[in-house]
Amino acid sequence: MRFEKGPDHDLVRCEVCGSPNMLHIRAVRVNQLGDTVSIGPAGIEHFDDTTKTHARGSIVEIDFWCEAGHQFTAAFQFHKGQVLHEVRDLPRLPGLGPNEFLWEGELPRE
């Protein structure tokens, strides 16, 4: 992940265009050996699928989207006292509406 230094905190930059000003968190997932909780535009979802687990330890994934249409996932995997980090690009988006990312407060409901 790329960051830009700010006076009080660092800003996460888009992995594609580098902008620190147009980036939003779309969803967060925590996978503990196939037992996964996802928090995103649809609310809180729980999945239990140990057959698709490819990791030995927990995985935390954060999906970001940029107002320029870019999106990527930052993944953190924990295993034996180490934290591994990976950034994966996702397909470009044509444009998202306000109900397609996490809000700073309560999630919008339809």
Q: What are phi and psi of 100, to 5 degrees?
A: -110, 20
Q: How far apart are CA 75 and CA 55, in angstroms?
A: 12
Tens-digit pLDDT string for the chain (110 aa): 888 888 898 999 998 888 888 888 989 999 887 788 989 887 888 887 655 556 677 889 999 988 888 889 999 998 888 888 999 877 665 555 545 555 554 444 44
pTM, two decimal places:
0.75
Residues 6+ apart with CB under 8 A from 31: 53, 55, 58, 59, 60, 61
> How high is the pLDDT of residue 4?
87
